[in-house]
């Protein structure tokens, strides 16, 4: 059985993270067009603020959460997903760089969070109806909130300057169209 490779996220150089050793993610396109993601954060989890579900969903990205930005290969419009360890999630749609538009009703992702020792894990499945058809470009990211309220930003790659998960250069992972 061929397993998809892990992708290591890197911390933004302007905000080093002394609590997190590594964040790895696996992304695998399913034959029906859905997407499976597996995030694993390892480090001093007890020194992080881990939301318990009481956050306003519009601002999950301002606290510890795993994120996914997805667009159709060659497109401009993209979708942002935020997944909170409290089990909450949120989706935002954009017609182009940071131009937010109304989001249509779509099926909810399936989420499974686990915290054990020095690790925080999320397995997520996004149904095909939540994703563009065809080949995809993904920006896989994480926001880590420390106990003191400071934030660190992790991504497959960071464009120059301040952290910006919406920047086109961050869409670093190409996934082919599903094959039935």
For 133-178, what is each residue's pLDDT tens digit?
999 999 999 999 999 999 999 999 999 999 999 999 999 999 999 8
Tokens coding 71: 């667009």
> pLDDT band at 69, cuts 50/70/90?
very high
For 100-112, what is each residue's pLDDT tens digit?
999 899 999 999 9
Pairing of strands 99-101, 78-83: unpaired
Question: Residue 24 to residues 33, 48, 66: CA-CA distances in angstroms?
Answer: 23, 17, 11
Question: Tell me, what DSSP letter sits at residue 19?
Answer: S
Question: pTM for the whole thing?
Answer: 0.94
Nearest partner of 123 among 166, 85, 152, 165, judged by Cα? 85
Tokens coding 127: 């149904």
CA 132 to chain centre: 16
For 11-68, what is each residue's pLDDT tens digit?
999 988 999 999 999 999 999 999 999 999 999 999 999 888 776 788 889 999 999 9
Is residue 122 a contact partner of residue 112, using CB atoms and an 8 Å limit?
yes
Can you tell me which residue has the tokens 């067009």?
33
């Amino acid at each position: 059985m061929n397993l998809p490779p892990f992708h290591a996220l890197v911390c933004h150089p302007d905000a080093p993270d002394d609590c997190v050793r590594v964040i790895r993610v696996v992304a695998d396109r399913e034959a029906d067009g859905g997407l499976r993601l597996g995030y694993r954060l390892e480090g001093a989890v007890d020194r992080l603020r881990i939301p318990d579900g009481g956050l306003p969903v519009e601002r999950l990205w301002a606290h510890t959460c795993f994120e996914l930005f997805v667009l159709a290969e060659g497109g401009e419009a993209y979708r942002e997903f935020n997944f909170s360890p409290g089990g909450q999630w949120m989706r935002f749609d954009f017609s182009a760089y940071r131009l937010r538009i109304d989001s249509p009703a779509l099926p909810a992702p399936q989420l499974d969070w686990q915290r054990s020792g020095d690790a925080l894990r999320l397995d997520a499945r996004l149904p095909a109806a939540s994703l563009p058809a065809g080949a995809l470009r993904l920006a896989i990211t994480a926001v880590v909130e420390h106990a003191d309220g400071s934030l660190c930003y992790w991504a497959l790659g960071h464009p120059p300057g301040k952290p910006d998960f919406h920047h086109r250069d961050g869409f670093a992972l190409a996934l082919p169209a599903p094959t039935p």
